[in-house]
Amino acid sequence: MIAKTNTMTDDRVRALIEAYGADSSRWPAEERASALARIAEVDELRVALDGAHALDALLNAVPTPSPSPALRMALKDLPDQPRGSNWFGWLGAFAAPWQPAAGLVAAGVLGLWIGVTQPDFPLPALLDASPTAAEADFEDPFDDAAGSAIGAGTGDLLR
Amino acid sequence: MPEGGIAVGGVLAGTMTSSEPEDPDAALMPRIAEGDASAYRLLVDRHADRLLAFAERLVGDRATAEDVVQDSYLSLWRTAARWSPQAKVRTWLYRIARNAAIDRVRRRKPTVDPETVTLIDPGARPDRAVIDGDIGRAVSAALDALPERQRAAIVMVHYDGLSGADASAAMEVSVEALESLLARGRRALRAALSGQRDDLIGGER
């Protein structure tokens, strides 16, 4: 703020009018009296005040939205609504724990169903491919190291 | 008191100074936090109508405004324990309602920029409404075309009578920033309505 009370400047009065309009009851209370006193002394500020009056009059021409007794009743009933009465809201409360688990279970059930009912289900070519000669001859030392940690050579498990 | 509702930020709404009269709603908030529905209903009686008018001016249609007010009171009921005695309850409600309005509009328009959002699609242009001879609609259309922050500032101060300090607290900006929003908004309104101003107000200038 530029100035207050006894040090009210013309710029600050203009700023008040531009921001709050012509009705001084909207101005900050601590600046009101000194701003009005300044306006009484300066013609240019009175012109600015008149211009703001015009815009205030236009704003006042907008009708006030009517109240809604039905909404008020609904708002008052709100505490009586059982918490979680909304089914989706209730589900949402458990969304975090059950969603990943449900996805995993669904994938498992689908795999089991395919395995049991569709033994000839075509698998991707990559899984079906025989190892090349180079791959067959290559012994990965990490297989045995990892396998030893669980009591068996992983190479044995994979072959 | 369950968690949830609308985020209202860290520091909660308009701070009160010792020179201001005591907030008549303040005593109700601890009771609401304890689940006292009668205290909550008193706040409905005191503020719901004004909050509905605020929301309707902000979002531009009645149905969405009613949703906004319901969101706001639901949030009040659920998060009353977060209210701080430094905040005026009315100011806090305005902040919640404005956030609820922005939230509702964002759900409709996911890529809204809060700096430029108008919340309302300004269907009728000011000049069209003037031709129709409807001053209120002309001004409404000009208001609707303002960015949301400017419009919220003008609605709070001009229509709802909030002080600069309370409106700035409700909007989580400084008083200086609020005054800037108000001045820019009023300037834009003057420009939008300048061609018709004399007709609209019978030559007053």
Domain-located, residue A145:
yes
Determine the structural domain holding residue A25 and report its residue range: 5-60
Q: Answer whether residue A65 shows pLDDT above 70.
A: yes
End of a domain among B64, B85, B112? B112
Q: Using a CB-CB distance cutoff of 8 angstroms, which residues of chain B are in contact with residue A62?
A: 57, 136, 139-140, 143, 159
Nearest to A65 among B40, B56, B197 (CB): B56
Same domain (yes/no): B105, B120: no
The 3-state DSSP class for residue B87 equals strand
pLDDT at position A82: 62
- The pLDDT mean for chain B works out to 82
Same domain (yes/no): B161, B195: yes
Domain-located, residue B4:
no
End of a domain among B92, B112, B132? B112
End of a domain among B56, B91, B112? B112
Q: Answer whether residue A89 shows pLDDT above 90.
A: no
Buried-state track B109-129, b at ≥16 Cβ within 10 A, e below 16: eeebeeeebbbbebeeebeeb
- What value of ipTM does the predicted structure carry? 0.79
Domain-located, residue A88:
no
How many structural domains are present in chain A?
Answer: 2
Which residue in A64, A53, A61 sits closest to B160, CA to CA? A64
At A39, list the tokens. Answer: 């306006």
- Using an 8 Å Cβ cutoff, are B115 and B197 in contact? no
pLDDT tens readout for residues B66-124 = 999 999 999 999 999 999 888 899 999 999 999 999 999 888 765 545 555 555 555 55
Q: Which of A59, A66, A80, A90 to mutate to test the interface with B (most CBs of B within 10 A)?
A: A59
Q: Answer whether residue A9 shows pLDDT above 90.
A: yes
Contacts of A36 by beta carbon, 8 Å cutoff, 6+ apart? A24
pLDDT tens readout for residues B28-55 = 999 999 999 999 999 999 999 999 999 9
pLDDT at position B105: 85
Distance CA A146, CA B197 (A): 85
Q: Nearest C-alpha of chain B: how many angstroms from A4?
A: 13
Same domain (yes/no): B121, B81: no
Domain-located, residue A134:
yes
Chain A residue at shortest CA distance from B196:
A58
Q: Answer whether residue A18 shows pLDDT above 90.
A: yes
* Rounded (10°) CA dihedral B44, B47, B8, B31: -50
- Using an 8 Å Cβ cutoff, are B51 and B170 in contact? no
What is the domain-level CATH number for residue B108?
A: 1.10.1740.10
What is the domain-level CATH number for residue B157?
A: 1.10.10.10
Q: What DSSP letter does each residue of B123-167 carry, written as one string? A: -S-HHHHHHTT-HHHHHHHHHHTS-HHHHHHHIIIIIS---HHHH
* Rounded (10°) CA dihedral B141, B70, B49, B85: -110
How many structural domains are present in chain B?
Answer: 2
Distance CA B81, CA B3 (A): 10
Which residue in B193, B195, B191, B167 sits closest to B180, CA to CA? B167
Same domain (yes/no): B61, B23: yes
Identify which has the larger pLDDT, A28 or B200: A28
Q: How many helices and strands, by DSSP H and E, does chain A display?
A: 10, 0
pLDDT at position B121: 54
- Using an 8 Å Cβ cutoff, are B154 and B186 in contact? yes
Same domain (yes/no): B19, B107: yes
Determine the structural domain holding residue B177 and report its residue range: 114-205
- Using an 8 Å Cβ cutoff, are B185 and B151 in contact? yes
